[in-house]
Amino acid sequence: MLLAEQPGPLREVSTFRRHVAGAEANVAVGLCRLGLAAGFISRIGDDELGAAIRFRLRGEGVDTSQVIVDPEAPTGLVFRERREVGPVDVVYYRRGSAASRLTPDDLDEQYLRGAKFLVLSGITPALSESCKQAVFAAAEIARAAGVSVVVDPNIRLKLWSADEARSVIRDLITRADLVLAGKEEAELLTQECDPALAAAELARLGPRQVVIKLGARGALAHGASGTIEAATTPLVRVIDPVGAGDAFAAGFLAGQLRGMDTASSLALANRCGAYAMTLPADQECLPFWNDVADQPASSTDVRR
The residues annotated as belonging to the active site are: 246
What contacts 181, CB < 8 A, 6 or more positions away?
Answer: 152, 153, 189, 202, 210, 211, 212, 213
Rounded CA Rg of the chain: 18
Alpha carbons 303 and 204: distance in angstroms, whole number: 49
Contact criterion met (CB below 8 Å) for 81 and 111: no
Cα 162–165–167 angle (5° rounding)? 110
CB atoms within 10 A of CB 166: 18
Phi-psi region of 300 (alpha: psi -120 to 50; beta: other; left: phi over 0): beta
Q: Which amino acid does the sequence have at 147?
A: V
Residue 86 DSSP label = S
User: Helix crossing, 129-144 with 162-173: angle to 10°?
Assistant: 20
